[in-house]
């Protein structure tokens, strides 16, 4: 069901959220596909042959992580489709994409912190070669753009006021 506002002219301009969602969604999907390709390459061909650009962009061979990136990217892209078709509520998809990217970046940072503790405090020999770049993933550095967007647009994403009976004014 498509929900369109009664007064389209009064609604906020969605050009900037559309542009942000196109760029973010494309980057998430492209890096997710690159990460999927690196993971499939490692399984089927072996770790000796590397995927071009994977090392340069710090993309690990992680199939599950690639699905996370592709999911976040498709949320952004679906929001673009909604906003471009005139449905203002498509902005919600941009906001959900921002929140998803920030949540997964926080999870990746927690994992990286745990690995840092293993390497430097516990002196675990499995983490002897660990550096912070070892855990820098696309989910972390792409979330920087989402963090700036969240800070910039946090007031733009407020729930719409419901029409009709207000909960405080119910008849008894």
In whole angstroms, what is the distance from residue 17 CA to residue 89 CA? 12
Residue 53's SS3 state is: coil
DSSP 8-class letter at 87: -
> What is residue 87's predicted lDDT score, i.e. its pLDDT?
81
> What is residue 163's predicted lDDT score, i.e. its pLDDT?
58
State which residues of the chain have pLDDT below 50: 1-3, 7-10, 172
> What is residue 72's predicted lDDT score, i.e. its pLDDT?
96
Residue 55 lies in a domain: yes
In whole angstroms, what is the distance from residue 61 CA to residue 40 CA? 8
Q: What are residue 123's phi and psi, to 5 degrees?
A: 55, 45
Residue 165 lies in a domain: no
In whole angstroms, what is the distance from residue 34 CA to residue 88 CA? 32
> What is residue 165's predicted lDDT score, i.e. its pLDDT?
53
**Dihedral over alpha carbons 83, 81, 39, 134 (to 10 degrees):** -10
> What is residue 2's predicted lDDT score, i.e. its pLDDT?
47
How many other C-beta atoms are found inside a 10 Å radius of the C-beta of residue 155?
6
Q: How many residues does the chain have?
A: 172
What pTM does this model have?
A: 0.80
- Contact between 135 and 62 (Cβ < 8 Å): no
Residue 5 lies in a domain: no
| Domain region containing 146 | 13-156
The total of structural domains in the chain comes to: 1
> What is residue 3's predicted lDDT score, i.e. its pLDDT?
47
């Amino acid at each position: 069901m498509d929900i369109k506002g009664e007064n389209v002219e009064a609604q906020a301009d969605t050009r900037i959220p559309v542009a942000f969602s196109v760029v973010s969604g494309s980057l998430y999907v492209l890096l997710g596909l690159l990460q999927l390709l690196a993971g499939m390459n490692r399984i089927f061909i072996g770790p000796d042959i590397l995927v071009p650009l994977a090392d340069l962009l710090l993309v690990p061979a992680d199939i599950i992580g690639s699905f996370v990136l592709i999911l976040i990217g498709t949320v952004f892209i679906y929001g673009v489709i909604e906003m471009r078709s005139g449905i203002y509520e498509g902005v919600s998809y941009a906001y959900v994409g921002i929140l998803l990217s920030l949540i997964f970046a926080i999870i990746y940072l927690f994992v990286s912190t745990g690995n840092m503790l293993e390497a430097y405090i516990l002196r675990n020999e499995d983490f002897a070669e660990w550096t912070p770049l070892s855990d820098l993933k696309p989910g972390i550095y792409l979330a920087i753009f989402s963090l700036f967007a969240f800070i910039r647009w946090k007031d733009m994403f407020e729930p719409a006021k419901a029409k009709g009976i207000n909960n405080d004014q119910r008849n008894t």
